[in-house]
Structure 1
Amino acid sequence: MNGIKLLYREEGDLAAPPLLLIHGRTADHNDWNGITQHFAARYHVLVPDLRGHGGSDRPGAYPLPDLAGDMAGLLDHAGISRATVIGHSLGGMVAYLLAMRDPERVERLVLEDVPPPLPLENRPPVVEDGSTGFDWRMVHETERQFLDPDPAWRAGLARITAPTLVLSGGAASPFDAGALAAAIPGAELVTIEAGHLIHVTERAAFLRAVDAFLPE
């Protein structure tokens, strides 16, 4: 995909409606364990490792639009023209960039505690430790894009045509989900007081909110 190799997992009936789950920064496809099984009961679920994470390639370049292009390439590889997309944090930014780049490819969009494309302030500096499950260059490059996103991304949110659910982690969240929801036409905002890792900290509430948003 996009000239690089991505590791991904598939679950569910290949003939079922497709659903793409995109993990957050420094995680990998295993971050969705338990969530994948829930959705695989009625969806063909694809769960990739983003470039620079897990078993996927580490090309050394991490522009977020390229990560969105990787996801389009994965859908092409799987023969999928249109999918529901759920993204957490960095994965949510990739998801909304995909939805604004290729609106016809996104059936529905769920953004779980995702940074809006607005300059972020008061972020602690990135401090490397001994973690090896991801490329530290990816962390530094994506952090720069968190802090100073391309202004075109905010304008691009208005081009999203997919019905969109924005999930906020509430008072303990580091991001302004309200600003993100306000910039996407018709987006629904739901707050779950769980902090940043809603699908981990409040899994049942996360699944209830997403199930209520997705068609039966």
Structure 2
Amino acid sequence: MQLNYQLHGEGEPLIILHGLFGTLENWGSQIKSLAERFQVIAVDLRNHGRSPHSDEMSYPLMAADILALMEQLNVSKAHILGHSMGGKAAMQLALNHPDRIDKLIVVDIAPVVYPRHHDDVFEGLFSIDLTSLKSRSQADSQLQALIKEPSVRAFLLKNLYRNEAGQFDWRMNLQALHDDYAQISAAPQGSSPYPKPVLFIKGANSNYLIPEYRDDLLGLFPKASYKVIQNAGHWPHAEQADSFSRMVLDYLG
């Protein structure tokens, strides 16, 4: 699959991968900061943003997509920065092709199977009647019954756009994400541990990286280190942008 991407800056390549329901546009402030030192390759993963839709969704497929993009851009080795679902895709790529990774940063996700926890999101998004929708504010009102946090609703509704017929539609492949949710919840798999260092970044208020996942994490990434960003939840790159970019730049050197 040929992914949609944007190039920013010059220098060593740094590939940035978003999370579930996200797009490369979620990394706006980080792209600007990191592009001062690196050639940032911001990517829309399959079934997200402006990348192609597919009925299939899995971490081996996402890793293969990223590898194909690297081949397309003649990138033999790159730093990889992935958040949440994008972090799992980054881990899968590292386990499959460690020689193609320079430095790896995984944001607020562990290599484990997570229980279902997006049912309210799917229910809310499917409840929006796109054929009669007149505005984003109307969609926001419809989501309020199931999704209380305004910031989460705003994040989800960035996926709305007007198609060529002038009707609202989703850029993401909502049906495929719902149908293959078990694959998104799954853990990356590797026949052997990743032999290089990895930085895991945790939002202090998030429960995605918890002590119970330590053995699974170290089993696949024995040279892992981690840092915590205070006053941040699952989106530390957005919630504490300055602290996050400093942490990333320090690690990448």
User: TM-score range, shorter-chain basis?
Assistant: 0.7 to 0.9
CA RMSD for the aligned pairs? 2.1
How many residue pairs get matched?
205
User: Does residue 142 of structure 2 align to residue 105 of structure 1?
Assistant: no
Per mean C-alpha deviation after superposition, the further-off stretch among 180-189 and 101-110 is 180-189
C-alpha distance in structure 2 between counterparts of 1:205 and 1:22, whole Å? 19
Residues 25 and 89 of structure 1 are in contact (CA less than 8 Å); yes or no, is this contact kept in structure 2? yes
- Aligned pair partner of 2:246 in 181, 184, 208: 208
| Post-superposition offset of 1:157 | 8.3
**Equivalences for 1:83-162 in 2 at 5 Å?**
83-117=78-112, 119-121=113-115, 123-125=117-119, 126-129=122-125, 130=128, 132-147=170-185, 149=186, 153=189, 156=190, 159-162=193-196
| Post-superposition offset of 1:112 | 0.5
Residues 139 and 106 (structure 1 numbering): CA distance in 2 closer, same or farther, change over 3 Å? same
| Post-superposition offset of 1:101 | 0.4
C-alpha distance in structure 2 between counterparts of 1:167 and 1:195, whole Å? 11
| Deviation >4 Å, runs of 4+ | none
- Aligned pair partner of 1:173 in 185, 200, 207: 207
Consecutive unaligned residues in structure 1, runs of 5 or more:
none
Aligned residue identity for 1:20 = I
Residues 141 and 95 (structure 1 numbering): CA distance in 2 closer, same or farther, change over 3 Å? farther
TM-score computed with the length of structure 1 as normaliser: 0.86
C-alpha distance in structure 1 between counterparts of 2:49 and 2:115, whole Å? 29
Aligned residue identity for 1:189 = Y
- Aligned pair partner of 1:60 in 48, 55, 63: 55
Consecutive unaligned residues in structure 2, runs of 5 or more:
129-159, 161-169
C-alpha distance in structure 1 between counterparts of 2:180 and 2:85, whole Å? 8
